[in-house]
Amino acid sequence: MSHPLPWQPGAGPQGEGPGAGGPGVAGPAELPVDGAEPAGPAVALWRVALRRFFTNPWAVGGLLVLLFFIGVAVAAPWIAPHPPEKIDLLNVDAPPSPDHPLGTDGIGRDILSRLIYGSRVSLVVGFAVAAGTMLLGSLVGALAGYFGGWVDTVLMRLIDVMLSFPSLFLNILVLAIFGSDFKYLISILVLTSWMGVARLVRGQFLQLREMQYVEAARAIGTPAWEIIVHHLLRNATAPLIVNATLMIGGAILAESALSFLGLGVQPPQTSWGQMLNNAQEYMLTNPMLAVYPGACIFLTVLAVNFVGDGIRDALDPRQKERIGRGMRLAARAAVAFGRRHAGELEARGGEAR
């Protein structure tokens, strides 16, 4: 007697159900429709991960803060009270007022408007650098991990050479030579940040390429690029998503540091790092000029890190358990070491007496 297939809706023990064609025989209504495959375990896993993410209050709070800054950046032309480059020499270093809610800077520009427009530049740099880093790093790591051999050796030595140079030094050198154009800023941040992603993808591919489904795909003549994209890279998306969220915060900090040094975004464009650079001269007389952009950078990067940690815990809850268990073991070892050390000191003191 035939048993009903799992996707046969309403099939009973005898294969009976709507549209059944007899005992154990699937009727027309029970056959799957082309393009309408039943939800597989991967979809269920992503749903479970989403539920885990939204039960994490820190991750949800970080997501709300990040969405707030994104909304401010998108709505900047409509919510900013003044143009960010507008200079009002009659209101230099003005205190907060209805017309200037956060006051003005040393040349009369509205601080709130500059913060709002600065969010656009900082967030665009963060997301663009993260996307470019993921693409370049995934490409290099996929080639190294899948093909191995001399391809892996050459690419890994290239990564070692890139990592031997301080990234901040390379950023300053390239921007000093080619200028502080916006596209150069994003390009150099991508070119100095992809190595960690490449190593991550390579490690994932070295594990996945020996799986049976990959061997089966090779055996039936599936092209290498299709195996890389559809079989290997798809199964390495979880750590890549976590790494991408953390890359956003790192890119925002890097842009802020370069703008603070005068090598990032140049006027009339505004960024939070540029506002910090302009506030150096007024640290003693008007420290709030540095506090406002610094607080925005701090909150944005903290929110991105909370989101990244939440995604990591949602996709791999066992890692959180391992970290917690490791911290507990380390604490116990530290307590045991302290007790043993204290006992030795007491014994030495008794011998001295």
Q: Is 190 exposed, middle or buried (0-12, 13-18, 19+ CB in 10 A)?
A: buried
Residues 90, 189: one domain?
yes
Which residue would you say has higher pLDDT here, 43 or 249? 249
Residues 6+ apart with CB under 8 A from 7: 30, 32, 38
Residue 143 shares a structural domain with residue 211 = yes
DSSP bridge pairs for 104 = 110
**3-state SS, residue 24:** coil
DSSP notation for 239-250: HHHHHHHHHHHH
Angle between helices 317-352 and 288-315 in degrees, nearest 10 = 110
Is 180 exposed, middle or buried (CB count within 10 Å of its CB: 0-12, 13-18, 19+)?
A: middle
Looking up tokens 């007024």, which residue turns up?
282
Q: Give CA–CA dist 217/207, Å, rounded.
A: 16
Regarding whether 235 and 171 lie in a shared domain, the answer is yes
The predicted-structure confidence for 176-199, as pLDDT tens digits, reads as follows 887 777 888 898 899 888 999 999
**268, 341: one domain:** no
Is residue 130 within 8 A of residue 244, CB to CB? The reply is yes
State pTM to two decimals.
0.73
User: Which CATH number does the domain housing residue 288 bear?
Assistant: 1.10.3720.10
Q: End-to-end alpha-carbon separation of the chain, Å?
A: 90
61 shares its domain with 196: yes
Residue 308 and residue 269 share a domain: yes
pLDDT in tens, 9-50: 444 444 444 444 444 444 444 444 444 444 455 567 778 888
**38 or 128: which leads in pLDDT:** 128
Same structural domain, 261 and 333:
no
- pLDDT value for 334: 56
Are residues 298 and 343 both part of a single domain? no
Is the domain of 90 the same as that of 164?
A: yes
Angle at 259 between CA 269 and CA 105, to 5 degrees: 60
pLDDT category of residue 165 using cuts at 50, 70 and 90:
confident
Is the pLDDT at 330 greater than 80, yes or no?
no
Counting the structural domains of the chain, the total is 2
Range(s) of the domain holding residue 288: 49-315
Q: What is the pLDDT of residue 41?
A: 58
Do residues 171 and 246 share a domain? Answer: yes
Q: What are phi and psi of 48, to 5 degrees?
A: -65, -40
Query: Is residue 18 domain-resident?
Result: no
Predicted confidence at residue 69, as pLDDT, reads: 95
Instruction: Confirm if 306 and 61 have CB atoms less than 8 A apart.
Output: yes
pLDDT score, position 218: 82
Q: Which residue has the tokens 């391992």?
A: 322
**148 with 204, same domain?**
yes
pLDDT of residue 2: 46
* DSSP secondary structure string for all residues of 78-115: HH-SS-TT---GGGTTPPP-SSSTT-B-TTS-BHHHHH
Q: Kindly state whether residues 119 and 63 are assigned to the same domain.
A: yes
Residue 182, number of CB atoms within 10 A of its CB: 16
Cβ atoms of 84 and 134 within 8 Å: the answer is no
Rounded Cα distance, 167 and 258, in Å: 11
